[in-house]
């Protein structure tokens, strides 16, 4: 009982709520981004988000009010440019995120008092979540869950076979922009809590691990969500007791699970044969 | 019915198709033949709406089209089952119930002799088995027009014959209109089926019988 008494503290409850909301949101987007070689968009948007939040701190009471439209706009630009045949998607992500990050660093160099803010945004802090951030993360979860459930099969078709999706008159552009905007919203809230350098791992790991064992797309999606909840809860517990950053702890736990899945997978396949 | 009039396609400065016209009545089977790079695939991609002609028009009597694209190498590590792939074919007919879809999938899987593989991951299937899955995806929506781009390229000779018999049967019994790109006109069993030979433009359009009688490419 004594061990669990810390759960009565509000900041711990907020940390679990926002951690689970973020990890489930990320796991829901995960297969559509990872299996379509678009997972780096979250990494790129995290760099953009860094600048968005810096601008937000300078220009508004709530950094989100500036950061959200800033990052959503960047996501739309990345998506638009990647549909043009003049640049590869990874190059577009690299250019947009580097430019945005550079602008952020220039702003910081010309201002003062940002040192602690920068550290906080690079590694995140899930134990200092505000009411606004919690509500925003829950709204993002609802939006992502609705989008994935509503467009589950068209999204799968676009991810697996874009040519056939175009033939079947699936609104692939709408779905692509939708995913980009939702990834942007996830990243903005994730940068504050998980950290700029780590938020993309919440998107990448669930599908990487689940696809080692799962045979169908649906099971990859569901296993990814389940896995993300378990790892996030264990990660926050561990971070609290070990006094380590929660985001980093969650990522290290994911890495251990991935490594274990690589080791166990051949044994399972041997059993199948 | 497909009415194609003066179709041309230009990419940059490269003319891929020039002034292609033909009229395919409903319920007919049309084989499209021609050398590599002759524009066959561009033409069928125009028919299914994936490519817009630079000039000319296409009128098709139905919206219910089944399409098998040219064989592509898919990611073998993509976690997706045979059933999930075939369900993509219902994108144009979402009104069917889950049970009806499953029944249709199993029925077609049986006809294509892959009923035991329906719940298997696609990545574990051979190339020929995967090709059958994509054929089923093209057929489950019960199309009026079936467009096939080299459908038998990965199939073994025995199943290739069975597949061609099946297409003929569907054409004769159900009035299915079929457009079929092939490199091997020996697959065309019915002498009254139609042949369109193109090499960027129409070189021949008529029955297979006429084609074999009078066209220099027929025995090439």
Give yes or no for B145 touching A (CB within 8 A).
no
What's the average model confidence in pLDDT over B177-203?
86
pTM for this predicted structure: 0.89
**Chain A contact set for B92 (CB, 8 A):** 168-169
Task: Tell me the residues of A at the B interface, defined by beta carbons under 8 Å apart.
Answer: 31, 35, 153-154, 156-157, 160-161, 163-170, 210-211, 214-220
- Out of A154, A164, A211, the one facing B79 most closely (by C-beta) is A211
**Chain A contact set for B80 (CB, 8 A):** 156, 160, 216-217
Q: Which CATH superfamily is domain A5-272 in?
A: ABC transporter involved in vitamin B12 uptake, BtuC (1.10.3470.10)
Whether the per-residue pLDDT at A5 is higher than 80: the answer is no
What's the average model confidence in pLDDT over B79-90?
94
pLDDT at B74: 63
Gap between the Cα atoms of B148 and B47, Å rounded: 11
Please indicate whether, in this complex, the C-beta atoms of A161 and B48 are within 8 angstroms of each other: no
Task: Classify B180 as helix, strand or coil.
Answer: strand
pLDDT at B220: 42
pLDDT at A273: 45
Please indicate whether, in this complex, the C-beta atoms of A170 and B91 are within 8 angstroms of each other: yes
- Out of B48, B84, B119, the one facing A156 most closely (by C-beta) is B84
pLDDT at B94: 66
Of B159, B137, B156, B155, the closest CA to residue B146 belongs to B137
Domains defined for chain B, CATH in brackets: 1-62+146-220 (3.40.50.300), 73-143 (no CATH)
**Cross-strand pairs, B146:** B66, B178
Domain borders along chain A are 5-272
CB atoms within 10 A of CB B151: 27
What's the average model confidence in pLDDT over A128-147?
93
Min distance B40 CA to chain A CA atoms (Å) = 17
What's the average model confidence in pLDDT over B213-219?
64
pLDDT at A245: 87
Please indicate whether, in this complex, the C-beta atoms of B48 and A167 are within 8 angstroms of each other: yes
pLDDT (tens digit, 9 = 90+) per residue, A199-211? 889 999 999 999 9
What is the pairing mode between strands B2-11 and B55-60?
antiparallel
Gap between the Cα atoms of A194 and A246, Å rounded: 7
pLDDT (tens digit, 9 = 90+) per residue, A154-168? 999 999 999 999 999
**Chain A contact set for B79 (CB, 8 A):** 31, 35, 210-211, 214-217, 219-220
Whether the per-residue pLDDT at B15 is higher than 50: the answer is yes
């Amino acid at each position: 009982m004594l061990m669990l008494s810390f759960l009565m503290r509000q900041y711990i409850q907020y940390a679990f709520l926002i951690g689970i909301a973020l990890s489930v949101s990320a796991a829901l987007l995960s297969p559509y981004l990872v299996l379509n070689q678009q997972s780096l968009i979250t990494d790129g948007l995290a760099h953009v988000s860094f600048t968005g939040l810096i601008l937000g701190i300078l220009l508004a009471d709530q950094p989100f009010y500036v950061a959200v439209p800033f990052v959503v706009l960047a996501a739309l630009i990345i998506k638009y440019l990647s549909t043009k045949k003049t640049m590869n998607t990874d190059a577009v992500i690299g250019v947009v995120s580097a430019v945005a990050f550079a602008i952020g660093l220039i702003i910081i160099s010309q201002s003062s008092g940002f040192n602690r803010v920068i550290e906080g945004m690079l590694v995140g802090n899930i134990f200092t979540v505000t009411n606004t951030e919690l509500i925003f993360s829950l709204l993002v979860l609802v939006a992502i869950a609705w989008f994935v459930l509503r467009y589950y099969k068209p999204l799968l078709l676009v991810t697996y076979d874009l040519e056939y999706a175009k033939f079947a008159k699936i609104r692939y552009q709408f779905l692509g922009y939708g995913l980009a905007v939702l990834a942007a919203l996830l990243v903005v809230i994730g940068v504050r809590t998980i950290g700029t350098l780590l938020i993309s791992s919440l998107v990448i790991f669930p599908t990487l691990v689940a696809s080692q064992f799962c045979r169908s797309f649906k099971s990859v999606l569901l296993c990814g969500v389940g896995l993300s909840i378990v790892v996030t809860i264990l990660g926050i517990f561990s971070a609290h007791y070990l006094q380590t950053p929660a985001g980093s702890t969650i990522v290290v736990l994911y890495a251990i699970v991935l490594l274990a899945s690589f080791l166990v997978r051949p044994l399972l396949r041997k059993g199948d044969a | 019915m497909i009415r194609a009039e003066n179709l041309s396609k230009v990419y940059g400065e490269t003319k891929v198709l020039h002034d292609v016209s033909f009229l395919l009545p409903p319920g007919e089977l049309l084989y499209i033949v021609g050398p590599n790079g002759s524009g066959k695939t561009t033409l069928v991609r125009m028919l299914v709406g994936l490519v817009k002609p630079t000039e000319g028009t296409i009128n098709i009597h139905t919206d219910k089209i089944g399409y098998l694209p040219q064989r592509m190498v898919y990611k073998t590590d993509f976690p997706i089952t045979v059933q999930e792939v075939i369900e993509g074919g219902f994108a144009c007919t979402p009104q069917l119930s889950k049970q009806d879809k499953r029944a249709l999938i199993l029925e077609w899987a049986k006809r294509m002799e892959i009923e035991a593989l329906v719940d298997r991951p696609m990545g574990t299937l051979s190339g020929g088995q995967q090709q059958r899955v994509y054929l089923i995806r093209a057929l489950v929506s019960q199309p009026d027009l079936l467009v096939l781009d080299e459908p038998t390229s990965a199939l073994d000779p025995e199943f290739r014959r069975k597949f061609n018999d099946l297409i003929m049967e569907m054409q004769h019994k159900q009035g299915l209109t079929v457009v079929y790109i092939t490199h091997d006109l020996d697959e065309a069993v019915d002498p009254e089926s139609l042949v369109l030979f193109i090499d960027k433009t129409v070189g021949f359009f008529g029955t297979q019988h006429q084609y074999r009688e009078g066209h220099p490419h027929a025995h090439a």
